[in-house]
């Protein structure tokens, strides 16, 4: 295994006329130096368990069993490493974004910082349909498995994990470019050969709080160290005319007007694309994955300027590890989205209003009910006095132990 098989498999990509499948296998194993299986008996046991598993052996209602198990392991990796923004975007968020963008067979889907491949995998599930109802011909199936999903990932450890995740979801040829999307520095581009210059759909969650040096900034019109702002420019440049995008952005990107590149990028976005929806997420959505930032989902279509933005507000929800965001929280949003109807949680902001605020795009719900404290000063003083007595009693009890 360690001396012969693994080195052979890792070199498959370098063989003359290597097939796409051989290149994928080679890249999946690119970060594996040796097997952790310690005995021949354990190896045989593993083979016995894996051999019967196949698409034909899995019930239709559990068609994504292996991929779901794999993603469960990825979630635990994110929690353990306290870096879930890199490892794992909550699947309920990914699923809602894919439903809102609604990619169709024949369209290309791109994630410029794909991490473990969650957006691409969910887009595949959406496009294929649970029982492949959307696939009507063999050509459709071939297109979906071989000519649809494209991504970039720079992390050496995450890149092969993404490939394995996408293969387990049924994407036979995941076109993942290994390297830094912002600098253009390539580690391995063999799987990206033949990729289109522009894409129909972009879905992504750029790293929170990332900083880039001048090498990355030189590739963009508006210079900034902010990774998310540069990725926003990259995505806008990577879309076809009429291309659609759903992107997770730190709320700071939306409201900051004190840095020129932030304002220029947002103005460029509104000039070159129709930002048709912004969803304000609760503050705890990414906390369980190691990132406590307040985030928003931004949706836009390239090719026509923004005249108004429909906002939907989920920021009042109390979300934490024991009470996570669920699909039910997005049901009203997905129902109102086609007509952009106004409600207690949704409203419209015009371009004139946005420009008057120097391109501050932060969601401020005009329908939010303010919670006023109607207690009198005397009542507050009584509460403070009571709490002081409780603290004093607790201290006395501690001194006597």
Q: How far apart are CA 160 and CA 32, in angstroms?
A: 9
Domain match, 163 and 195 both: yes
Percentage above 90 pLDDT, the chain: 52
Domain match, 48 and 64 both: no
CATH number at residue 265: 3.40.50.150
Mean pLDDT across the chain: 87
DSSP classification of residue 289 = G
Domain range for residue 34?
1-52
pLDDT score of 221: 94
Domain match, 94 and 230 both: yes
Residues 249-287: tens digit of each pLDDT? 999 999 999 999 999 999 999 999 999 999 999 988 876
**Separation in Å, CA 361 to CA 167, 210, 297, 306, 370:** 38, 21, 12, 12, 21
Mean pLDDT of 153-157: 89
pLDDT score of 248: 95
Domain match, 341 and 215 both: yes
* pLDDT of 321 above 80: no
Domain match, 24 and 106 both: no
Query: What burial letters (b/e) apply to 228-247, b meaning 16+ CB within 10 Å?
Result: bbbbbbbbbebbbeebbbbb
Domain match, 316 and 267 both: yes
Q: Does some domain include residue 365?
A: no
Domain match, 46 and 138 both: no
Q: Does some domain include residue 385?
A: no
Q: Which of 110-119, 251-260, 305-314, 376-385 shows the highest mean pLDDT?
A: 305-314
Considering only 203-207, 271-275, 286-290, 315-319, which range has the smallest mean pLDDT? 286-290
Token pair listed for 21? 């499948």
Mean pLDDT of 82-102: 78
pLDDT score of 168: 82
Token pair listed for 345? 């949680």
Domain match, 45 and 65 both: no
**Separation in Å, CA 294 to CA 72, 114, 210, 253, 309:** 24, 21, 15, 11, 20
pLDDT score of 21: 84
pLDDT score of 131: 47
Q: Does some domain include residue 93?
A: yes
Domain match, 265 and 301 both: yes
Q: Residue 167's closest CA among 12, 28, 56? A: 28
Q: Does some domain include residue 273?
A: yes
How many residues are there in the chain? 401
Domain match, 148 and 284 both: yes
Mean pLDDT of 36-64: 72
Residue 274's DSSP bridge partners are 301
Domain match, 242 and 211 both: yes
Q: Does some domain include residue 133?
A: yes
**Separation in Å, CA 383 to CA 341, 375, 396:** 44, 10, 20
Q: Does some domain include residue 16?
A: yes
Q: How far apart are CA 168 and CA 54, in angstroms?
A: 10
pLDDT score of 18: 84
Residues 347-400: tens digit of each pLDDT? 999 999 999 999 999 999 998 876 666 778 888 888 898 888 888 888 888 888
Q: Does some domain include residue 393?
A: no
* pLDDT of 61 above 60: no
Q: How far apart are CA 212 and CA 23, in angstroms?
A: 30
CA-angle at 276, arms to 271 and 277, nearest 5°: 125
The SS3 assignment for 181 reads coil
Q: Does some domain include residue 216?
A: yes
Torsion of Cα atoms, 388 then 394 then 398 then 401, to 10°: 140
Could you tell me the pTM of the whole model?
Answer: 0.82
Local confidence band at 55 (pLDDT 50, 70, 90 cut-offs): low
Q: How far apart are CA 348 and CA 352, in angstroms?
A: 12
Domain match, 121 and 239 both: yes
Mean pLDDT of 27-50: 86
CB 114 within 8 A of CB 108: no
Angle between helices 65-81 and 158-169 (to 10 degrees): 160
The total number of structural domains in the chain stands at 2
Domain boundary among 341, 356, 371: 356
* pLDDT of 42 above 70: yes
Cβ atoms within 10 Å, residue 180? 18
* pLDDT of 67 above 60: no
SS3 per residue for 326-383: CHHHHHHHHHHCCCCCCCCCEEEEEHHHHHHCCCCCCCCCCCCCCCCCCCCHHHHHHH
DSSP string, 31-57: T--S----SHHHHHHHHHHHTT--GGG
* pLDDT of 132 above 70: no
Cβ neighbours of residue 336 under 8 Å, at least 6 residues apart? 312, 343, 346
Q: Which of 94-108, 115-129, 360-374 shows the highest mean pLDDT?
A: 94-108
């Amino acid at each position: 295994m360690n001396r012969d098989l693994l080195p052979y498999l890792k070199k498959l990509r370098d063989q003359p006329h290597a097939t796409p499948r051989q290149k994928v296998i080679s890249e999946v194993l690119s970060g594996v130096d040796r097997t952790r299986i310690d005995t021949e008996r354990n190896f045989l046991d593993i083979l016995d368990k894996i051999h019967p598993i196949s698409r034909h052996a899995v019930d239709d209602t559990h068609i994504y069993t292996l991929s779901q198990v794999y993603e469960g392991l990825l979630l635990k990796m994110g929690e353990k490493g306290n870096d879930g923004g890199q490892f794992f975007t909550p699947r309920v968020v990914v699923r809602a974004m894919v439903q809102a963008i609604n990619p169709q067979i024949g369209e290309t889907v791109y994630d410029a910082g794909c991490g473990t491949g969650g957006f691409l995998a969910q887009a595949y599930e959406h496009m294929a349909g649970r029982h492949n109802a959307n696939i009507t011909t063999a050509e459709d199936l071939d297109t979906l498995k071989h000519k649809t999903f494209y991504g970039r990932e720079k992390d050496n450890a995450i890149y092969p994990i993404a490939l394995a995740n996408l293969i387990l979801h049924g994407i036979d040829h995941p076109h993942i470019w290994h390297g830094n999307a912002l600098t253009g520095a390539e580690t391995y581009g063999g799987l990206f050969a033949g990729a289109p210059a522009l894409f129909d759909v972009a879905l992504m969650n750029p790293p929170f709080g990332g900083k880039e040096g001048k090498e990355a900034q030189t590739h963009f019109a508006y210079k900034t160290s902010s990774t998310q702002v540069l990725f926003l420019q990259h995505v806008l440049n990577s879309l076809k005319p009429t291309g659609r995008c759903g992107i997770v952005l730190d709320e700071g990107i939306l409201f900051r007007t004190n840095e020129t590149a932030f304002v220029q990028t947002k103005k460029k976005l509104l000039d070159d694309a129709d930002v048709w929806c912004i969803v304000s997420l609760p503050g705890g959505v990414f906390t369980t994955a190691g990132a406590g930032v307040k985030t928003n989902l931004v949706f836009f279509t390239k090719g026509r300027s923004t005249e108004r933005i429909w906002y939907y507000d989920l920021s009042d929800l109390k979300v934490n590890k024991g009470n996570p965001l669920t699909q039910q929280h997005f049901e009203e949003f997905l129902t109102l989205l086609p007509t952009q109807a106004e409600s207690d949680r949704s409203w419209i902001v015009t371009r004139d209003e946005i420009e008057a605020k120097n391109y501050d795009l932060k969601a401020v719900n005009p329908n939010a009910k303010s919670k006023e404290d109607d207690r009198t000063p005397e009542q507050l003083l009584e509460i403070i006095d009571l709490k002081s007595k409780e603290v004093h009693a607790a201290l006395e009890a501690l001194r006597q132990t």
